[in-house]
Structure 1
């Protein structure tokens, strides 16, 4: 008898596939998180995977500036090109055509008898036999190594800048205002409906179940315009109530289907014993069915919360607001893409703020997800 068992190739294939899927999901999320703490210059020059290492890159041109002083008959302007003392220059130049023409410490003639020296730490000295006056001073191009740099300025700008019209704080709370009721309302309604379809006998029950299954395949886009016209006619087409009801209507078929399948699989003896003891349907539902159905309720809550939080289409249609008072985060990010297409640090921070809450909800309730999805699949 073999003491060691060998795993089949299929098992290894499954394990490798799971690792690859996790990596494909994890890497973009980690990259977005790291980029949200980086500066615009770092994001533009290096990938997020190099954020923890010293980086060598060309810095934007820096024009010489400073106070002029007369030393030994020559007029000198001195200072440092960088605010940080940890920058080390490896090459420098005075022209965009040759940005790496000189080595640190080398003295270069820049015309009109003036000379320029740039040292390894970024210190410079520009000297000339006559005063510079209002003349245009030369630019310096540098290739330097920089230490890892992280900042909280992106989050301060996105969340807390009071003068920032593009801030995400208001959009964050608007999204919570939409998502929480749009998750709770369909769960409450679907729980009652699922109990009735699972355990109550009445005419037309089979037709209702078939209708619920049929509604699962109805495209969302098919109902948007008719529903918006209805909301406008009754006066709820431009506010939170309209979007809550829209999300409720679109989420109810899946909620009823999941909960009904789960409740059908609950032990019949418990419910029959409760009825023998004189319990009403409402008491059975509240005291027995709901506690036992928590995995299915949590499973749908995850789906509904994530779908509502990440929704853009329904919010654009049912939250019509020219002032931006009800703008949700997905719409705010789209506006950032339009106005700040080059500010990747702001976009990365805004996107990570948007996905942070769904990640917390998913990891907090993911143990119920599989149990809820498998509801009713086995007896």
Structure 2
């Protein structure tokens, strides 16, 4: 009579299968399976529901004060529609056109400059072997923990009077940063956004660039390509999804920002972006509240266009560097 002894590998496979079964039956796995089972039509229904407030904002932007106060936007009649609200916000008194230019003067540099600098830095941290690379990268990522709010006033003081260091034992003051007189200008706003966007941009781009196949870089070096050539001809074309994803996030954040713009620009009406202007559109005691929907829709229209223009890169960029292979 012969007996069969299970092999160790069989035992290991059984253990692995048992472990996998336990993981697949856990709460996270059940939630994941439930989300996967949701029909696509339900997702689109959610999208439609979330779009209803935007539609209501758009309709109310063409209605008079009495129409907005008396009935809901879904009861609008074609005879009620008017362009008076848009005439007011784009008129000389309100100046929304100039504020749109101010918003663009903030959002465009604050989006392009961090991408340009962070892409170089991310490539250097990922593929250039230099002394102190890892500590410097850790220090850069650690800057993400600094709250924006605690640095606004010191930055404003620096924009007003520069930065100086007094050496008491030498009785001497050294000028670290001269006074550029940037307070009350859009330049101060996009410089602030650029500085605070840099750590996240470097972190996001590094995660993507570091996962590019090593064989590509080795082949480029064998062909005699320098680092700049590799970065320009190889890394940038392959990094378009993550660059576009960051561009969407940064543009939306800077375009819709109110806190930084209000702190740095203040009461300088000629430099105010749309967020500050719209906050003041209602006037004293809310007498002009009927023009707020028109201003808000104009403010939201540009980010909507940017998002849909780059949406094909959005998901790919968000998942960039999340997995290998």
TM class by smaller structure: 0.7 to 0.9
Greater CA drift, 24-33 or 248-257: 24-33
Which structure's relative contact order is higher, taking Cα pairs within 8 Å and 6+ residues apart?
Answer: 2
Q: Which runs of 5+ in 2 are unaligned?
A: 1-32, 163-178
Q: Which position in structure 1 is the counterpart of 2:220?
A: 274
Mapping for residues 337-348 of structure 1, pairs under 5 Å: 337-339=282-284, 341-348=286-293
Provide the rounded CA distance (Å) in 1 between the counterparts of 2:232 and 2:270. Answer: 38
Q: Which position in structure 2 is the counterpart of 1:330?
A: 275
Q: Structure 2 vs 1, CA of residues 315 and 148 (structure 1 numbering), >3 Å: closer, same or farther?
A: same
Provide the rounded CA distance (Å) in 2 between the counterparts of 1:314 and 1:281. Answer: 37
Is the Cα–Cα contact under 8 Å of residues 37 and 345 in structure 1 kept in the other structure? no
Is the Cα–Cα contact under 8 Å of residues 102 and 186 in structure 2 kept in the other structure? no
Greater CA drift, 229-238 or 15-24: 15-24
- Secondary structure of the structure 1 residue equivalent to 2:271: coil
Q: Which position in structure 2 is the counterpart of 1:363?
A: 308
User: In the TM superposition, what whole-angstrom CA distance separates every residue of 1:243-276 from its partner, at most 9, and x where no partner exists?
Assistant: 2211101111111111111101112111111111
Q: 2:104 aligns with which of 165, 176, 180?
A: 176
Matched, 1:29 2:58: no
Q: Structure 2 vs 1, CA of residues 23 and 219 (structure 1 numbering), >3 Å: closer, same or farther?
A: farther
User: In the TM superposition, what whole-angstrom CA distance separates every residue of 1:83-137 from its partner, at most 9, and x where no partner exists?
Assistant: xxxxxxxxxxxxxxxxxxxxxxxxxxxxxxxxxxxxxxxxxxxxxxxxxxxxxxx
Q: Which position in structure 2 is the counterpart of 1:149?
A: 80
Offset of 1:156 from its aligned partner? 2.0
Offset of 1:10 from its aligned partner? 4.9
- Secondary structure of the structure 1 residue equivalent to 2:270: coil
Provide the rounded CA distance (Å) in 2 between the counterparts of 1:304 and 1:41. Answer: 38
Q: Which runs of 5+ in 1 are unaligned?
A: 1-7, 53-146
Offset of 1:344 from its aligned partner? 3.4
- Secondary structure of the structure 1 residue equivalent to 2:74: helix
Mapping for residues 148-167 of structure 1, pairs under 5 Å: 148-159=79-90, 161-162=91-92, 164=93, 166-167=94-95
Q: Cα RMSD between the aligned structures?
A: 2.0
Is the Cα–Cα contact under 8 Å of residues 299 and 373 in structure 1 kept in the other structure? yes
Provide the rounded CA distance (Å) in 2 between the counterparts of 1:227 and 1:10. Answer: 45
Offset of 1:210 from its aligned partner? 1.6
Provide the rounded CA distance (Å) in 2 between the counterparts of 1:25 and 1:366. Answer: 17
Provide the rounded CA distance (Å) in 2 between the counterparts of 1:209 and 1:188. Answer: 17
Provide the rounded CA distance (Å) in 1 between the counterparts of 2:183 and 2:222. Answer: 48
Q: Structure 2 vs 1, CA of residues 267 and 320 (structure 1 numbering), >3 Å: closer, same or farther?
A: same
Looking at CA atoms only, which structure, 1 or 2, has the larger radius of gyration? 1
User: In the TM superposition, what whole-angstrom CA distance separates every residue of 1:303-323 from its partner, at most 9, and x where no partner exists?
Assistant: 11000000011111122453x
Q: Which position in structure 2 is the counterpart of 1:202?
A: 130
Q: 1:255 aligns with which of 201, 204, 220?
A: 201
Offset of 1:277 from its aligned partner? 0.8
Provide the rounded CA distance (Å) in 2 between the counterparts of 1:187 and 1:204. Answer: 23
- Paired residues in the alignment total 274
Q: Structure 2 vs 1, CA of residues 216 and 16 (structure 1 numbering), >3 Å: closer, same or farther?
A: farther
Mapping for residues 49-128 of structure 1, pairs under 5 Å: 49-52=74-77
Q: Which position in structure 2 is the counterpart of 1:223?
A: 151
TM-score with structure 2 length normalisation?
Answer: 0.79
Provide the rounded CA distance (Å) in 1 between the counterparts of 2:37 and 2:208. Answer: 33
User: In the TM superposition, what whole-angstrom CA distance separates every residue of 1:183-210 from its partner, at most 9, and x where no partner exists?
Assistant: 1111111111111011111122111222
Whose helix proportion is higher, 1 or 2? 2
Q: Which position in structure 2 is the counterpart of 1:299?
A: 245
